[in-house]
């Protein structure tokens, strides 16, 4: 019988990709807020008990970092409570695996070298606190689990930094971008493909061989940059892509000329951000052979999916 894979957050930038990359593993059942009130934990329990999926990929999350400062209860419910309920229910009937996603924001950003899975978390905002609570809830539930921490996620859909930069550039707006926060921009499709690799290896292994694998892993693009560096690369790579497509490049060139670097202090936000968010990917590479391309190479591939037409 074909395994059932439950994907939550179906219409999000990661959930959209997971529906495709996980399809070879079995029958995909994907849900989002239109199908399920994730703040109703009883409804979440009922869904899992009725469906009894073999695998759960939990991409549903509260991601409004600044709004989480005033909507702590909602962020805590979606990011902290729901993952625990999903893992508990999977454990109850002996499901095979839950994959849950977390964030670099569980760290305070005071490091000077990439964070490993063993570094102590210390979130500096409500969003990071809620995501850390979700990690702990999954770990406590006792189900076979893999928690994937990632960072600076973007895609060709939804709301994210890449699409915002392209929109502002096309509108001719001046771009003042923070240059003192460091991280690794990661394409959602690359994360989804890494998830599929991890899940397939886990499910195909014998119970004895898979014993060391459950746990926490970092999975991001390699390399690092700043938000300003990312914005500049988006515009430069877009101009090259436009040239290959024989489309006008003036708006891109104008945006590059307008781009300026600012400090975090010049752009105050309700939620504090870590100054340094780079994650070390050695553990997942050693365990599963997963090594994502450099952040700029990922960006180049992602832009091949972007329509530059008006």
CA angle 188, 296, 302 (to 5 degrees): 40
CA–CA separation, 118 and 127 (whole Å): 21
| Selection from 31, 28, 32, 30 nearest residue 4 by Cα | 28
127 an active-site residue? yes
The residue among 272, 130, 280 whose CA lies nearest residue 219 is 280
Burial class of residue 250, CB neighbours in 10 A (0-12, 13-18, 19+): exposed
Query: What's the CA gap between 18 and 59, in Å, rounded?
Result: 9
Q: What count of Cα atoms within 13 Å lies in the side-chain half-sphere of residue 103?
A: 28
**What is the SS3 assignment for 304?**
coil
- Cite the beta strand spans of the chain per DSSP E: 4-8, 27-31, 55-58, 97-103, 145-150, 153-154, 176-178, 182-183, 186-187, 215-218, 225-226, 260-262
Task: Say which of 101, 105, 127, 276 is annotated catalytic.
Answer: 127
| Residue 84 φ then ψ, to 5° | -65, -40
The token pair that represents 180 in the structure block: 């003192």
Catalytic center residues: 127
């Amino acid at each position: 019988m074909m395994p059932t894979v439950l994907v939550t957050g179906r219409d999000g930038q990661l959930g959209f990709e997971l529906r495709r990359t996980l399809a070879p593993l079995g029958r995909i059942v994907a849900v989002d807020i239109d199908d399920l009130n994730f703040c109703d934990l009883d409804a979440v329990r009922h869904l899992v008990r009725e469906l009894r999926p073999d695998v759960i990929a939990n991409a549903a999350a509260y991601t409004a970092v600044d709004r989480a400062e005033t909507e702590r209860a909602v962020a805590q419910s979606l990011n902290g409570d729901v993952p625990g309920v999903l893992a508990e229910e999977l454990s109850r009937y002996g499901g095979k695996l839950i994959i849950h996603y977390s964030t670099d924001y569980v760290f305070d950003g005071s490091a000077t070298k990439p964070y490993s899975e063993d570094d102590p978390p210390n979130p500096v905002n409500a969003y990071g606190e809620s995501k850390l609570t979700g990690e702990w809830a999954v770990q406590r539930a006792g189900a076979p689990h893999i928690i994937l921490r990632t960072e600076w996620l973007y895609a060709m859909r939804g709301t994210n930094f890449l699409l915002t930069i392209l929109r502002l550039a096309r509108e001719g707006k001046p771009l003042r971008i923070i240059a003192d926060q460091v991280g690794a921009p990661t394409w959602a499709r690359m994360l989804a493909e890494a998830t599929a690799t991890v899940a397939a290896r886990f499910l195909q292994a014998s119970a004895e061989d898979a014993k060391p694998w459950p746990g926490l892993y970092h999975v991001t693009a390699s390399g690092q940059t700043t938000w300003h560096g990312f914005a500049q690369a988006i515009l430069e790579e877009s101009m090259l892509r436009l040239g290959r497509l024989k489309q006008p490049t003036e708006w891109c060139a104008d945006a590059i000329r307008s781009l300026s670097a600012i400090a975090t202090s010049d752009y105050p936000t309700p939620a504090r951000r870590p100054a340094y968010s780079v994650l070390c990917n050695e553990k997942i590479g050693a365990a599963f052979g997963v090594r994502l391309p450099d952040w700029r190479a990922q960006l180049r591939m992602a832009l091949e999916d972007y329509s530059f037409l008006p």
